[in-house]
């Protein structure tokens, strides 16, 4: 029973998660990589961009602030709650926000010059099907640009939190971070999935390491335990132990990174491929 709940909860960014996600995780993890992805788009200046799995909109806002105003941006996500958070924050110019399933995109063929996705493809249940949809909506010669996290062992905050929660729930450790966000980084597997999705060119891979910073270990613990679907996994075991789990993560983080402002290595893979 618990495994069914976990499988469904991996994609459930609802309730308190969107606000906590945007407050804590976006500046700590996603902002630096958003800047990296958008920088890679600048040399191409695509006229029309589709973003999938846009979340609370950090890549969207970075595109709006970095790319010329004539570029059209359509930002989509499966979770309406995440898009509502993005809409609430807003952008300085118009963006088309639209709820959409990446495996069944509501757009006609060959509509976009680029499709971009930040740390979203790991959540797609059928990745080859999602890639086939990207291939379908891209114009010939269009760019698919996305990133994925490296293994949990290469991302220090996530690794420490995962190990800490295993001490709280030793009989059934929450493995969301290792299983999903950090579970899809094998280059050959990604290349095979892209090929199954219809891409015939060779993907480019680049490993990018950065430093994640936060004001305190408590902030990191809150971000991971309560601002991601890891929250759903903890609550599925025992909803009354959320604070205990968060404190255990905080204690472990302090032991590894100190009591005060903290910093740690994060690492991701950037993938690009043309249609």
Q: What is the pLDDT of residues 225-241, one digit of tens each?
A: 998 889 999 999 999 99
pLDDT at 13: 54
Q: Given pLDDT bands bounded at 50, 70 and 90, which one contains residue 27?
A: confident
pLDDT at 22: 81
Q: Given pLDDT bands bounded at 50, 70 and 90, which one contains residue 5?
A: very low
Q: Given pLDDT bands bounded at 50, 70 and 90, which one contains residue 272?
A: very high
Q: Which of 274, 272, 251, 200 is nearest to 39 (CA)?
A: 272
Beta carbons within 8 Å of 241's beta carbon, 6+ residues apart? 168, 234
Q: What is the pLDDT of residues 105-139, one digit of tens each?
A: 999 999 999 999 999 999 999 999 999 999 999 99
pLDDT at 15: 56
Burial 243-261 (b: 16+ CB within 10 A, else e): eebbbbbbebbbebbeeee
Task: Work out whether strand 112-118 and strand 48-51 pair parallel, antiparallel, or are unpaired.
Answer: parallel
Q: Which of 14, 30, 85, 2 is nearest to 229 (CA)?
A: 14
Contact 217, 257 (CB under 8 A): yes
75 forms beta bridges with 51, 97
Q: Model pTM?
A: 0.91
What mean pLDDT comes out for the span 74-80?
A: 96
Q: What is the pLDDT of residues 181-192, one digit of tens each?
A: 999 999 999 999
Phi, psi of 251 (to 5 degrees): -60, -45
Q: Which of 118, 153, 78, 151 is nearest to 272 (CA)?
A: 118
Percent of the chain whose pLDDT exceeds 70: 93
Phi, psi of 231 (to 5 degrees): -55, -45
C-alpha 119/C-alpha 152 separation (Å) is 14
What mean pLDDT comes out for the span 55-77?
A: 97
In this structure, what is the dihedral angle of CA atoms 82, 18, 163, 148, given to the nearest 10 degrees?
30
pLDDT at 16: 57
Residue 6 has pLDDT above 80, yes or no: no
Q: What is the pLDDT of residues 39-63, one digit of tens each?
A: 999 989 999 999 999 999 999 999 9
Beta carbons within 8 Å of 22's beta carbon, 6+ residues apart? 56, 58, 85, 89
CATH architecture, domain 2-274: 3-Layer(aba) Sandwich (3.40)
Q: Given pLDDT bands bounded at 50, 70 and 90, which one contains residue 14?
A: very low
pLDDT at 1: 36
C-alpha 80/C-alpha 100 separation (Å) is 9
């Amino acid at each position: 029973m618990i495994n069914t709940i976990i499988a469904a909860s991996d994609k459930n960014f609802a309730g308190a998660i969107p606000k906590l996600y945007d407050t804590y995780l976006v500046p700590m993890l996603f902002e630096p990589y958003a800047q990296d992805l958008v920088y890679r788009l600048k040399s191409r200046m695509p006229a029309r961009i589709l973003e999938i799995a846009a979340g609370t909109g950090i890549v969207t806002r970075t595109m709006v602030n970095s790319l010329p105003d004539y570029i059209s941006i359509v930002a989509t996500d499966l979770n309406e709650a995440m898009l509502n958070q993005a809409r609430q924050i807003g952008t300085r110019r118009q963006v088309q926000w639209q709820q959409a399933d990446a495996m069944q995109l509501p757009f006609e063929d060959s509509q976009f010059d680029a499709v971009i996705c930040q740390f979203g493809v790991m959540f797609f249940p059928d990745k080859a099907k999602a890639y086939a949809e990207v291939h379908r909506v891209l114009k010939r010669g269009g760019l698919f640009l996305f990133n994925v996290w490296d293994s949990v062992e290469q991302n220090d905050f996530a690794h420490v939190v995962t190990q800490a929660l295993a001490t709280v729930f030793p009989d059934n450790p929450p493995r969301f971070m290792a299983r999903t966000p950090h579970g899809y980084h094998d280059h050959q597997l990604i290349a095979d999935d892209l090929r199954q999705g219809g891409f015939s060119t060779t993907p480019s891979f680049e490993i990018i390491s950065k430093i994640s910073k936060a004001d305190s270990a408590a902030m990191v613990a809150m971000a991971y335990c309560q601002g991601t679907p890891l929250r759903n996994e903890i609550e599925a075991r025992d909803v009354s132990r959320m604070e205990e789990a968060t404190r255990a993560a905080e204690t472990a983080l302090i032991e590894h990174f100190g009591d005060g402002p903290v910093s740690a290595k994060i690492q991701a893979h950037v993938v690009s491929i043309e249609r």
